[in-house]
Amino acid sequence: MANGGIVARACPPRNIEMFRSPLPPNSHFSYHCREREKERERERAMTTMEMMERDAMKTVAPCAPVTYHRRVRGDLDDTFPKPYLPRALQAPDMEHPLGTAEHRHNGLSVLQQHVAFFDLDDNGIIYPSETFYGFRLLRFNLLASLILAAGIHIALSYATLPGWIPYPFFPIYINTIHKAKHGSDSKTYDNEGRYIPANLELMFSKYARTVPDRLSIGELWDMTEGNRDAFDFFGWLASKVEWGVLYALASDKEGFLSKEAVRRCFDGSLFYYCVRNYTEMSEYRSYYY
């Protein structure tokens, strides 16, 4: 009974007459009332099949406000072939339908490419020392690099091991990195480490409200809150740490994180781009001074 009352208040049935006082004929509210009455008349004249055809592709439900506030794009198929198809090797988007031009995948899945930057000796196994030096190459300070390396390997190492016996040095095996995928994420990687372009686009259509295709720190927080799965405490924390690290690495001078930076983070090419830029900047400064 209580649940029924809540539903009735949230979205009243159409045959319930509301107590209404007389409204001025030109008032804004009376206009919407008249439009609603016209819509009801049209619906009465429609057949069931016509109503189903009208509603089949709608993305906003009148009784679910969250579907209005978190809008999804309906034009992905117009210029982007099969946006919902998971890609194993490339990380495309609307502006880059073939992925990152200068980035080589070397037969790795997109998730494997994401972590391959930290495999400094290229043997397929990432040790905490390699992750630490990888963050140092990305210009994170000593303490942040140490904390991130320790946290990542303690959290992810065991899931990627080839057997049941824990290893003392907390290695991460790249070929089984998909087993370390956590919940409460953006779902841009599937459970096998493939990349789903549509989920990247939906991420920005839902949460990039200030500037299209760029996320502020507040919008990133809203996104991680919106992606939370029930009782997934590890996923809640991991998601916020990951996006916080990416924001610290790749946000622009105006405080926004661009879609291009996020896309290139997914395939790992962002890390090589940052290191190359830092190296060129250091060489320029050494030469200039």
The structure's pTM equals 0.82
CB 160 within 8 A of CB 176: yes
Q: What is the pLDDT of residues 192-248, one digit of tens each?
A: 999 999 999 999 999 999 999 999 999 999 999 999 999 999 999 999 999 999 999
Q: What is the pLDDT of residues 106-120, one digit of tens each?
A: 999 999 999 999 999
What letter would DSSP give residue 256? E
Q: What is the pLDDT of residues 66-98, one digit of tens each?
A: 999 999 998 998 888 999 999 999 999 999 999
Query: Kind of pairing, strands 172-173 and 256-258?
Result: unpaired
d(CA 162, CA 166): 10
